[in-house]
Structure 1
Amino acid sequence: KEKGYETAFWGKWHLSTLEKNPNYTHPGPGEQGFDYWMGTTLNSFPAHGGPSNPKRFIKNGEPLGEVGGWYCDVIVDDAREWLKSKRNKEKPFFMYVCSHEPHTPIDPPAEYSAKYDNPWVDQLEKENKYGTVARPKKDISEYKKDYYGTVQQLDDAVGRLMQTLEEQGLAENTLVLFTSDNGPETPVTFLESGGQWEDPIRDKCFGTPGELRGMKRYPYEGGHRVPGIARLPGKIPAGSESDVLFNGCDILPTVCGLVDAPVPEGRNIDGVDAFNAFLDKTVTRQENAVWFFPHHGDTWYMMPQVSMREGKYSLIGWLPQRDPDVQTLDQWLANNDPVRFELYDLELDPGQGNDIADKYPETVATMAKKMTVLWREMRDEGLAGKKK
C-alpha cells in the first residue's frame, strides 16, 4: 500500500472470526490492510450444509445475509465487478481470491456433476493412486462425479476472472498466481493401527496427488506439493515448466521484490524472493523449507509430524509418541524434538517409497540438526504467540 497499491480480498478467511462478538475482537481483513473485502470464516461455512446460497458472508464489516448462487461464483462475480467499476483505476492493485471449492462440503450444480457421470470417469477412479492412502471400505463411487464437477466449476469461475482482466486491458501487466493450500482431502483418515476414522462429509473427496505419497495433513510430498501456476506475459515464458521449489511463504517477499517494496521488518519472514523459480532458475535460501502438521502422537496418530527439504533430499521426522493421559497437546509440542527420521531422494524417488536413512546416516544426522533448530524456532514462536 505504501507503493500506491489498492488491495482487496474475497472468500475464505482462515485467520480469525469475522462476526462481531462482544466478548472478543479479532483483526479481520480491514485491520490487516485490505481496502475492500468480502468473506466468510472457516467455521461459518460447513454449518450451513454446502456451498450453494451461502448465508454468512460479510462485506467490509457488514453481514450480507443469504447470498444466492455458489461460493466460487459469488466471490468471483463480486471480484469482477470490483475490477470493472469499484477500484481506483489510477492505482495498481492486489487481489486475493480464496474459494472454498473444492473443500468440503462438496455440492456443485447438477449440470456440472452430470458431465462426469460416465465410463471415462469410472476408469479414472481405477487408475488414481490417492497418495498410497487407504480408501474407504464402503462404496463411495457414486460421488466422484460431484468432485470432478466442482473442480470444473472452480475452473470456469477462474476463467471468468481471467476474461475480465483481458476486457479491462490488465492481462498483460498482471501477475496471476493460482495455487492450493495443501494436498487433497481424504475420504477417511487412515490409521497406522489398522483402523479408519470415517467422516461422511468427505465421501465426495476424489482429489489425488498422483504418484506423490500422502494427502492433506501428511508431511510427505502429497501433503504440501500442490498445483502452482504463474502467469506474467513477457516475463514468464508461456507454457514453461519449473522444478525449482516455490514455497507458500515465498509469495510475500517475491511480490515485494516485483513492486520494489521493502520486506517488512520486525517480524519473522520465512520465505525469500523466489521469482527465479518461475523461470526454472536457482533460488537461494538462507534456511531450508520446513513443513509441520501436529498429529497428536498417541496410538491413533503414528504418521510423522515434520518434513524438511534440502536440495534433492526430503527428511521426515517424528516427535516421540504422546500419552494423552500424561501430556496435553501443547505440553507435548513444547517439550519434544523429532526423534525418528526417514530420508528420501526426490529426484530418484518422488513417491517416497524407498527410505534411504540407513544408507546415508551422516546426511540424516546433518539434516536432523537443522530440522531441530527450525522446529524449535517455529514451535517456540507459536507457543509465545498463544500465551499472548
Structure 2
Amino acid sequence: MLRRCFVLLTCFSCLSLSLTTVSRAADAQKPNLIFIMADDLGYAELGCYGQTKIKTPHIDQLAADGMKFTQAYAGCMVCQPSRSVLMTGQHTGHTAVRANDLNQLLYEEDKTVAEVLKSAGYATGCFGKWGLGYAGTPGRPNQKGFDQFTGQLLQVHAHFYYPFWIWRNEEKVMLPENENNQRGTYIHDLIHEDAKDFIRKNKDQPFFAYLPYIIPHVELVVPEESERPYRGKFPKTEIKDPRPGYIGSEDGLTTFAGMVSRLDDHVGEIVILLEQLGIRDNTLLIFTSDNGGQGGNWKDMTDFFNGNAPLNGHKGTMYEGGLRVPFIASWPGKIAPGTTSDLQIGFWDVLPTFADAAGTKVPAGVDIDGISFLPTLLGKGKQKQHPYLYWEYTKGAIRSRALRMGDWKAVQNRMNRPVELYDLSQDIGETKDLASQHPDKVKELTRTMEQAHTAPRDFPQTLKPVGIKGYVK
C-alpha cells in the first residue's frame, strides 16, 4: 500500500513538474511588450523622419531595424485624452477622458491594455506621466492593471523635472534634494532607472512595460552633459515659460536639442539592456509621441527645428501637426528591417495589437474602436483597415473635432465654426481648404463625425487645487 502511494505521488509530482515546464515554455513564447512614448515630440524631430539638427542615432537605429509608420496618429492633440485612448482602445468619441481636465479620469469599468495583458499572465509596469487618475481615485495606475508604477499621477506635476516628490505605487517618495530650487534629482532619470529595474526583475516572464517618458515637454531643462554637444551650434535664444515657477533656458534651442538627445540615449539603454538579458528577439518595442510638437510660446523653437514639417499646426490643434506622430516598431526576426508602412493607424489600435501579439483577446463586453495591426508588423495575414479615424476634444461646452476618411480630412476647430476640408494626398500641409468645392464630401464627413461621437461622461467630483507645481509639503 505504501509503495503504491509512493508511486502515485511520484507520478503526480512528475505530472506537476511537466505541466509547470509546459506552462513556462508557453510563457516564454509570449513576447515582451514595451511601449515608449515621448511627450510633445514632433513628427520630424527624429533623424529617421527628416530631422537634421538634433541627433537621434538610437531611435533611428530602431527604425532601421524595424518598421516606420508614416501615417500614425496620436489619440488626441494633447496629452491627457491621448493617453486615455491608448489605454482603453477607444477613440475620443468614446473614451472616458476627452480633454486636459484634472476632473476627467478613468473609472473602474474602463478596461485598459494593462488589465487585458495582466489577465494573460503578463507582469505590468508604468514609468512616467500617467494623467488618468490621481491619489484616492479609481483611475490611478495600480487600480488599472499595473503591478508597478513610478511617476507623476497628474499631468501638471509632470511638467517639472526637479519636483519635491514622486509616486512609487501608492507611496509618495519625497525628494528633499530638489527643494529650495536645488537640482539634485532629474526626475526623468529616476523614472528611467526604475523602468530598467522592472525589465531586469521580469526578464524570465512575459512583461508589458509602458514608458510614458516626460521628455521633451516643458520645462526647458536638462543636465549639462546632454547640452554640451550642441553648445554654439544654434543661435543663442532665451526661451522662458510665462507661467511662474517654471524653469526656462537662456540657450533654449541647445537645451531642447539636449533633451531630445537624452531621450534618445535612454531608448538606446533600453535596447542594450534587452540584448544583455538575452530577450531582445522576444520583445516587441514601439516608440512614439503622445501628440505633435509644441506650439504656443514654443512655436518658434519647434519651427526652428522643423519639428512638425511638412505638417500644418502644432500640439493643441486638430491639424496634422497636432495629431500625426512618429511611430516605430521593432521586433528582431519578426518585423522585417528597414520597412516603411503608410497604413493609417491610431493609438486606439495598440490595445488589440498587443492583445493579438500576446495571444489573448479583448474581454467580451469591452467595446473598443481599435484594429490590430499585427498583420502589418509581421507581414502575414490580411490587414483590416479603418473606414475612418476620428478625434475630438470635449471640455464642457467646448468641442473641437476632426476626421480622416481615406485621403480626406475634415477639421472643425469649434462647433460654431465651419468645417474645413483637405485632400491629404495632394496637400499634406493642409494649406487649401476645399470645403466650398466639395460640399457633399463635407456633409458626408460631418455626418460621420456625428455618428462617431457619444455623450461624454459626467464627472461630478472636483479635484482640489494643490498649487501650480502640484507640491504638497
TM-score interval w.r.t. the shorter chain?
A: 0.7 to 0.9
Give me the identity figure in percent: 31
**Shift of residue 10 of structure 1?**
0.8
**1:308: Cα distance to partner?**
0.5
Q: Does structure 2 retain, via aligned residues, the 8 Å contact 1:108–1:149?
A: yes
Query: Offset at 1:386?
Result: 2.4
Aligned to 1:104: 218
Map of 1:55 onto structure 2: 164
- One-letter amino acid matched to 1:44: H
> Residues 5, 370 of structure 1: CA spacing in aligned structure 2 closer, same or farther, 3 A cutoff?
same
Give per-residue Cα distances to partners, 1:24-68, cap 9 Å, x unaligned: 53432111111122121223344xxx414x432111211221175
**Which residue of the other structure, out of 14, 32, 44, is the alignment partner of 2:131?**
14
> Once the 2 structures are TM-superposed, how far is the Cα of residue 367 of structure 1 from its aligned partner?
1.6
The alpha-carbon distance between structure 1 residues 318 and 27, as it changes in their structure 2 partners (threshold 3 A), is closer
**2:202 maps to 1:70:** no
| Residue matched to 1:248 | 347
Asked if the contact 1:185/1:205 (under 8 Å) is kept, the reply is no
User: 2:216, 2:334 → 1: CA distance?
Assistant: 30
1:37 aligns with 2:122: no
What secondary structure, in the 3-state scheme, does the structure 1 residue paired with 2:450 have?
helix
Secondary structure of the residue aligned to 1:229 is strand
Q: Any unmatched runs of 5+ in structure 2?
A: 1-117, 178-183, 238-248, 462-473
TM-score by length of 2: 0.62
Residue range with higher mean Cα deviation, 26-35 or 59-68: 59-68
Looking at structure 2, the residues matched to 343 and 280 of structure 1 have their Cα atoms a distance apart, in angstroms, of: 33
Query: Which residue of 308, 311, 325 corresponds with 2:406?
Result: 311
Compute the RMSD of aligned alpha carbons.
Answer: 2.9
Distance in 1, matches of 2:373 and 2:124, equals 22
Q: Give the distance between the partners of 1:56 and 1:287, measured in 2 at CA.
A: 45
Equivalent pair of 1:4/1:92 in contact (CA under 8 Å):
yes
* Residue 386 (structure 1) aligns with: 459
Which letter maps to 1:12? Answer: K
Equivalent of residue 159 in structure 1, options 257, 268, 273: 268
1:214-246 deviations in Å (ceiling 9; x for gaps):
100100000010111110112211111111112
Quick check: 1:288–1:310 contact (8 Å CA) kept in 2? yes
Match of 1:82 among 182, 198, 223: 198
Alignment of 1:261-340 (within 5 A): 261-278=360-377, 283-285=383-385, 287-294=387-394, 305-321=400-416, 340=418
Give the 3 Å change call, closer, same or farther, for CA 246–103 of structure 1 in structure 2: same
Q: Which residue of 1 aligns with 2:253?
A: 144
Q: State which structure, 1 or 2, has the greater radius of gyration over its C-alpha atoms.
A: 2
Q: Equivalents in 2 of 1:272, 1:242: separation in Å?
A: 16
> In 2, Cα distance between the equivalents of 1:361 and 1:354?
15
| Mapped contact 2:353–2:373 kept (Cα < 8 A) | yes
The aligned amino acid for 2:405 is: E
Aligned counterpart, 1:324: none
Structure 1 position 2 matched with structure 2 position 119: yes
Q: Does 63-72 or 169-178 show the bigger shift?
A: 63-72
1:27 is aligned to: 139
Q: Counterparts of 1:215 and 1:204 in 2: how far apart (Å)? A: 9
Q: Deviations over 1:322-362 (max 9, x none)?
A: xxxxxxxxxxxxxxxxx621111111111011112222222
Go from structure 1 to structure 2 and tell me whether the alpha carbon gap of 1:277 and 1:343 turns closer, same or farther (over 3 Å shift). Answer: farther
- The separation in 1 between residues aligned to 2:376 and 2:321, in whole angstroms, is 20
Q: Which position in structure 2 is the counterpart of 1:219?
A: 318
Q: Could you tell me which residue of structure 1 aligns to residue 438 of structure 2?
A: 360
Tell me which amino acid in the other structure corresponds to 2:161: P
Q: Distance in 1 between matches of 2:458 and 2:395?
A: 20
Q: Is the 8 A contact 1:241 1:280 kept in 2?
A: no
| Larger RCO (CA under 8 A, 6+ residues apart) | 2
Q: Deviations over 1:141-181 (max 9, x none)?
A: 83111111100011111111111011001111100011111
Question: Contact 2:133 / 2:141 at 8 angstroms: preserved in 1?
Answer: no
The verdict on how the C-alpha distance between 1:254 and 1:45 changes in structure 2, with shifts beyond 3 A counting, is closer
Q: Write the deviation string for residues 230-271 of structure 1: whole angstroms up to 9, x where unpaired.
A: 101122111111111120111001111111211133343121
The aligned amino acid for 1:17 is Y
Equivalent residues of 2:293, 2:308 under 8 A apart: yes
* TM-score, with structure 1 as normaliser: 0.75
The DSSP-based 3-state class of the residue aligned with 1:241 is strand
Deviations 1:88-123 (A, max 9, x none): x4421100011111011120112222322334x349
Distance 2:443 2:426 in 1: 21
Kept in 2: contact 1:38–1:60 (CA 8 A)? yes
- Residues 387, 264 of structure 1: CA spacing in aligned structure 2 closer, same or farther, 3 A cutoff? farther
In structure 2, relative to structure 1, the CA distance for the partners of 1:316 and 1:277 (3 Å cut) is farther
Cα distance in 1 for partners of 2:195, 2:119 equals 23
3-state DSSP of counterpart to 1:188:
helix
3-state SS in 1 of match to 2:150: strand
The residue that corresponds to 1:342 in the other structure is 420
Shift of 1:318: 4.2
